[in-house]
Structure 1
Amino acid sequence: MLIDEIMNTEMKVAMSDSSVHEAALSMYCNQINSMPVVDTNDRLVGMISEENILFAMYPGVNDFVAYERFDFEVIEKGYTRVLNQQVAGLMHEPGLCLPPAMPVLQAVSLMYLNNIRKVLITEEEKLVGIFTTGDVHRALFETGLATRPFKRDKDTERLSGWRGRHTH
């Protein structure tokens, strides 16, 4: 099984020249915490995350050393300043990117070694998809269902009894 057989091609992306406000709004509305950033040619140029946005507001270590106290309410008002910046100014490197023709188990091995759960899939520097460990689990589960129909047996009864005792 190859990555392109199970990757997600429906992605929310931010443009590098768009405002942080637009990216933050898209992340909020879509309940995601990060987005790939592309340029006008759809080339992957970075990632923007909630952390990038929030860290841009935080005082740095040197600020803590230089000042005894902070007015965090004033710092929160600086959020507007951050939102007016361009995404390109806050984004970070995209990290590990993989090709769509890579075998799934090879990709998962690389993800495991790098302690990551999602990677961007690129072809000739263009973003073509996103691949997560959840995609692998779904694909394996669906394959398993196709070859072995679900039926209630002693194991599922035991599991449901365990859940009933441990989910109060």
Structure 2
Amino acid sequence: MRWNRQFVHLAEAVLLGREGAGADAAAAVERALAAAEPYPLAQHLGLRLVADAAHQDGWGDPVSWLRRAEHHFHERDIAAVTGACRAGLRRLGAPVHQHRSGTSGIPQQLRTQGVTVREFDVFRLLAERLSNKDIADRLFISPRTAEKHIASLITKTGAANRADLCARSAALRSG
């Protein structure tokens, strides 16, 4: 059955990861995600289930998988699995953010990178290439807080520098 196919791919991924074939394991996860496309519950449950093995064996992107799954289950008010995802993130040493209103407005790619609602507010203003002071004035925060949010965004998104971050923000706004 198609529902089960994704779990077969995920089991294959775990076995490949244990054998040291990280790239093949990650490819098996991608096949699992494609097979589970019609079943979002199974898709996110699968990501939660393979994250620990992926982290232990050093393959894939278990932190973003857990963030993605945690968001999915939180949005559907499935507290037990949301809690399990949050516990998994803590085990991996990843920060676990509070859920605030507006989280669903953050694009999934940024959300899986751990961007908070307030950081996303700053990120959107970077499209206008505002100074820290101007961002701070618009958001009613201190310039130092704006600076810290920008530094955090650079780290989380892998942007080369502030100019790169501004360009990414502008691209998101126009896209």
Q: TM above 0.5, one fold?
A: no
* Higher normalized helix content (fraction of residues): 2
Q: Which has the higher contact order (CA 8 A, sep 6+)?
A: 1
TM-score (norm. length: structure 1) = 0.27
Structure 2 length as normaliser, TM-score? 0.26
**Which structure shows the higher strand fraction?**
1
